[in-house]
Amino acid sequence: MHRDPSVTAVKLRRGTVARIGSFARPYRKILAVFLVLIVFDATIGAANPLLYREIIDRGILGRDTSLIVVIAGVVAGLAVVGAGLSLAERWISARVGEGLIFDMRSKVFDHVQKMPLAFFTRTQTGALVSRLNNDVIGAQQAFTDVLSNVVSNVISVALVLAAMLVLSWQITLVSLAILPAFVFPARRVGRRLGALAREGYVLNADMNTTMAERFNVSGAMLVKLFGRRSIESERFDERAGRVRDIGVAQAVYGRLFLVALMLTAALATALVYGWGGFLAVHKALNVGTVVALVAYLNRLYGPLTALSNVQVDVMTALVSFDRVFEVLDLEPMIAEKPDARPIPRGPARVEVSHVDFGYPVAEEVSLASLESVAVLEKTPPNTVLHDIDFTVEPGAMVALVGPTGAGKTTIGSLIPRLYDVRRGAVRINGVDVRDATEASLRDAVGVVTQDAHLFHETIRSNLLYARPDATDDEMRAALAAAQVLDLVDALPEGLDTLVGERGYRLSGGEKQRIALARLLLKSPDVVVLDEATAHLDSESEAAVQRALEAALAGRTSIVIAHRLSTVRGADTILVIDRGRIVERGTHDELVVAGGVYEDLYRTQFAPDRPRSDDPAGTGAGEDRGAAGVSP
């Protein structure tokens, strides 16, 4: 069963079966046809042994050649019809199954995209991808493999048993008496195979996670820098070795299962031929009846064995559905209101009005199974922003500076509504972002972070992500404004150059300028820059600063900065400390005021300059100014 250890003991929630019906509803007509075809197919299979009996008893023993030809023709015709039914069943099964996979994957993918950023900061990516792959496929099997097998096997067993009881109820009962000697050990083998399969799924998932983390550029670099290659290989070999051992055990148990089934069938066949042959010799049973009984045995044991494990098969499918529903039932914390209204475009006024904020707790945004934990942590809500209040006039720049962990990036994330405030409001042109349409908010606000993300696609594709209808001329103009057009033109494939995973084929400064070009192509009214030059060398920083001038020209901007040189010209500088605005003013005003900002300034630019409140130049408070100022 495709379940990770954190949910192996979870019972199905009420209403799961009813919800499965809602997914099957669009396919109910074709499913009805599917079931009818299965019934016809099982009936044909059950009719063939009776035809064999007639060929032997009335045709061969009765020396009626015309009857032999007719019945043989009927058998051949039924074989052709059976082949056609089998193809039709497979086509319908594939159509329903693949349709369900499409429906469920699309719904889960769309739902996951609606989740807040906090969901992705907690969720294990591999576990989430598993829901879109393993569990969706497991759910699909409920309507294809499980449904067809259960219905087909039930009908086959019913028809075969009825025919055998009519032909010889004594031999039938004796044949069935042998079956428990196989079924009960087989169920124990099945449980052992299930346990091995579950362990194999977990180990394979762990190996996939390890490979995903170690094979990306950042992971591979970390392994090399710390010289952990041999240790990583040993850990991987340990898991891979266990998977190997599980594979061997599964092969042995599987063969044991098959051998036991074949042995049981062979013993039953020997019994029927022995007892039936004895009765035929003494004229108590027809030869054709003996042959028909043996043929029916071959059609009885397989379906009966499958039905003995039907509960496991059905539960596997139901659990897969339940795991998919678990994701779909997690309501997004941030959603567009039914009466949402668009933000007016044009010069934007941003108001952050008396905002308090605390990050969502685990129960609000996550699932234990997606974090690979037994239960979600019970951390109480913690307020990280307190009464944040400021306004940015159209075309103005406000800079946020302060120590690490002060709350600067958190404030920046509230503007594009990556999180919702707990108290207060964030407004753009008078519209609370919680009341705005999602499309208008995304159009109005553009964000560039210190680690600009590029998809493993071409430069063109990454630019078109901002504006799918942009022309080549518009993209080139944006690249030129971002100070990166010469670089793109120098590449052999130009705009069609692949940037590599997360853009690692480009330098940090080049990535930032591509990201700025993408922002310019989007042309937002409000720009949020989150330490866009924090990790760049002097040359790259200068190029990015020139690009920023184009990006910010005429736009309302909120700049989160580590290097104070980038914000000295800001209209207002807000100093954030421990989630509060502790100082505000221009650069010159704050330097003279002698507070946190002056400490930051002295640390970066004038370490030997005495504080304004230390005229003697003794450097009192030096430690306070130097400690923890890197945002």
State the CATH number of the domain containing residue 407. 3.40.50.300
Indicate the pTM of the whole model: 0.68
Strand-by-strand arrangement of the 350-358 sheet: 383-392, 350-358, 423-428, 431-432
Q: Kindly report the length of the chain.
A: 631
User: How distant, in Å, are the alpha carbons of 459, 475, 501, 514 from that of 468?
Assistant: 13, 11, 21, 16
Q: Does residue 453 lie within any of the structural domains?
A: yes
For position 423, what pLDDT does the model report? 92
Residues 168 and 58 in one domain: yes
Q: Does residue 334 lie within any of the structural domains?
A: no
Structure tokens at 298: 């071959």
Residues 183 and 291 in one domain: yes
Over residues 9-13, mean pLDDT:
55
Residues 309 and 364 in one domain: no
Query: Does residue 1 surpass a pLDDT of 60?
Result: no
Q: How many domains does the chain have?
A: 2
For position 411, what pLDDT does the model report? 93
Average pLDDT, the chain: 80
Residues 290 and 157 in one domain: yes
- pLDDT higher at 487 or 260: 487
Residues 272 and 397 in one domain: no
Q: Does residue 191 lie within any of the structural domains?
A: yes
Query: Does residue 497 surpass a pLDDT of 90?
Result: no
pLDDT in tens, 43-102: 888 888 888 888 898 888 888 888 889 999 999 999 999 899 989 988 888 888 888 888
Find the domain containing 452 and state its range.
350-368+389-585
Residues 172 and 264 in one domain: yes
For position 355, what pLDDT does the model report? 93
For position 613, what pLDDT does the model report? 47
Query: What is the four-CA torsion angle of 312, 313, 319, 324, rounded to 10 degrees?
Result: 170
> 427-456 burial string, b = 16+ CB within 10 Å, else e?
bbbebbbbebbeebbebbbbbbbbebebee
Closest C-alpha among 146, 154, 141 to residue 42 = 154
Residues 361 and 483 in one domain: yes
Q: Does residue 406 lie within any of the structural domains?
A: yes
Residues 285 and 355 in one domain: no
Over residues 336-349, mean pLDDT:
90
Residues 253 and 400 in one domain: no
For position 564, what pLDDT does the model report? 78
Closest C-alpha among 243, 226, 233 to residue 210 = 233
Query: Does residue 615 surpass a pLDDT of 50?
Result: no
Where do we find the tokens 């580590």? 562
Query: Does residue 218 surpass a pLDDT of 60?
Result: yes
Over residues 450-468, mean pLDDT:
85
Q: Does residue 228 lie within any of the structural domains?
A: no
pLDDT in tens, 153-201: 888 888 888 888 888 888 888 887 877 776 677 667 766 776 777 677 6
Last residue in a domain, options 566, 585, 604? 585
For position 10, what pLDDT does the model report? 45
Closest C-alpha among 293, 326, 332 to residue 113 = 332
For position 172, what pLDDT does the model report? 85
**Lowest-confidence segment of 25-34, 110-119, 219-228, 595-604 by average pLDDT:** 219-228
State the CATH number of the domain containing residue 253. 1.20.1560.10
